[in-house]
Structure 1
């Protein structure tokens, strides 16, 4: 087993994970592995805060821009892609630095996690019901059956709500019972969390959202609609993109879309922390600690 460490940077959106990932990859001679579910899509740049090529400091980045927006993607597929990249990097003694906002994806990559089976008939019935009653109604049912799972799945993510209800039905156990256990696949793994108070984070989220709209999110979404964004079962769920599509459809104003995106992003940040706050394996570093890179490197070198 390789002794090259696997480094994962976690924390809420807009906390500064990207900058830390670059600093660590540079210091360790490593390469960055994206763990954001939406940054794998080509053209989804502004709304996912994807780091432009010119700002990557020449550090190779993996699992960015690998899919078209019309392509579906599952956690199981992402797990396989990421573990393949990690194995390739470590085979040449290069440290993989994982970074992204999708907590389930990160846990599925790092931890022991076997995916429950599927039942096409149950899935089809639940998907038909989703079309009829909408995601909020099914999410309410999930909240009754499995509150911890409902806490971690956003209200509008009908695909994941259906998957959770499917697993509950075919296994007879809560979906949350099938989530990753806190046991690394490889012991040479370290998680570093970016700690930031909510009263600091929320203004940063609001600023980021407004900048996205100012920088051309509506134009980006209009272009992506021509590439199949609205028909996508995965990419169309991205926060900000749903709201931008509503603006383009004449269903809300830009100001309303900005406010709804800010609210949805704040909720997303709270769900992210629900995954991470009780994980004792994470070493938390203050977002504004001038010595956070040195502290992080100490942790990595002692793993």
Structure 2
């Protein structure tokens, strides 16, 4: 591919130093950052998502932050569309897109340029109303008649995926199974160098995560969650299922002590970091940047620029 289709991806588990390294590299590579974090997209969710502050951005343009209200149900399809516009614009201006984040699903689909079935919202509303009035089993049976292969793969209570499969059919006239088969083997849209940040010792990663949660508490995470709930964001919203927000919502409702919520956030963050590493280990061709005790920006710049020279960016 030509250089105009190449981009750099910095991925890795939570608290692995992606934000700082992305900014450091943007300075020396004439780059701009495109966030790939499924929760930093929401406005008003700053502390609990470790969203970079203006000071941390150091004047480097950051895209895909604060693009949705926390009450919205933001999807990977919408992310790919919106982030792709940002990447294309950065490339058109002769700069390097640096995709930074830990949401592997977002990264994979952005790099692939995945062709998602269109979504107008009209059929989703109709199908949600039917699910309430007729019951989900009726819709699952309807899907079985339309797309038996997909219906067989879905649990009868998997409302989200049943409605999406029916929605694709009614929006396009093509089953979601046929759509996925048609788009699965297309070549990726971007030639991406992916560098994953991690720690040599798991204990150092755990300690860093725990310190980050303690810092979030000092910065006012409890008040941030309270403000979101007071503003009318329902506790059931997708955004409020994020680590930190779900636990503190429960604590504010009196379902568990605040101290227990803090410990739960630390535990869930560590568990999430393990899942992130599992995801990235399965990524073909990924390069690794392994920290010892803590992130070392000088080492990071050196290693990533060497990878870029090898990769041809």
Q: TM-score, normalised by structure 2?
A: 0.77
Contact kept in structure 1, 2:70 and 2:237, CA below 8 Å: no
Query: Residue 259 in 1 paired to residue 263 in 2?
Result: yes
Aligned residues: 278
1:102-152 Cα offsets, whole Å, 9 max, x none, are 11111111124233688757766778989xxxxxxxxxxxxx968xxxxxx
Contact kept in structure 2, 1:69 and 1:228, CA below 8 Å: no
* Alpha carbons of structure 1 residues 127 and 57: separation in structure 2 relative to 1, 3 Å: farther
**Residue equivalent to 2:79:** 78
Q: Of the candidates 156, 160, 163, which is equivalent to residue 160 of structure 2? A: 163
Secondary structure of 1:285's partner?
A: strand
**Residue equivalent to 2:275:** 271
Contact kept in structure 1, 2:235 and 2:246, CA below 8 Å: no
Contact kept in structure 2, 1:107 and 1:180, CA below 8 Å: no
Deviation at 1:179, TM superposition (A): 10
Deviation at 1:164, TM superposition (A): 4.2
Contact kept in structure 2, 1:194 and 1:284, CA below 8 Å: yes
Which aligned segments of 4 or more residues in structure 1 are displaced greater than 4 angstroms?
Answer: 116-130, 164-173, 176-183
Tell me the distance in 2 between the aligned counterparts of 1:127 and 1:297: 54
Query: Residue 192 in 1 paired to residue 192 in 2?
Result: no
Query: Residue 209 in 1 paired to residue 213 in 2?
Result: yes
1:6-50 Cα offsets, whole Å, 9 max, x none, are 111111111111111111111101111111111111211110001
Query: Residue 64 in 1 paired to residue 65 in 2?
Result: yes
* Alpha carbons of structure 1 residues 239 and 179: separation in structure 2 relative to 1, 3 Å: farther
**Residue equivalent to 2:307:** 299
* Alpha carbons of structure 1 residues 258 and 77: separation in structure 2 relative to 1, 3 Å: same
Contact kept in structure 1, 2:80 and 2:113, CA below 8 Å: no
* Alpha carbons of structure 1 residues 172 and 18: separation in structure 2 relative to 1, 3 Å: closer
Structure 1 gap ranges (5+): 131-143, 147-157
Tell me the distance in 2 between the aligned counterparts of 1:104 and 1:182: 17
Tell me the distance in 2 between the aligned counterparts of 1:238 and 1:295: 32
Structure 2 gap ranges (5+): 137-151, 170-174
Query: Residue 221 in 1 paired to residue 235 in 2?
Result: no
* Alpha carbons of structure 1 residues 35 and 110: separation in structure 2 relative to 1, 3 Å: same
Secondary structure of 1:230's partner?
A: coil
Deviation at 1:178, TM superposition (A): 10
* Alpha carbons of structure 1 residues 127 and 13: separation in structure 2 relative to 1, 3 Å: farther
CA RMSD of aligned residues (A): 3.3
Q: How does 1:102-141 map to 2 (within 5 A)?
A: 102-115=103-116, 120=124
Secondary structure of 2:234's partner?
A: helix
Deviation at 1:216, TM superposition (A): 0.6
Tell me the distance in 2 between the aligned counterparts of 1:56 and 1:229: 28
**Residue equivalent to 1:153:** none
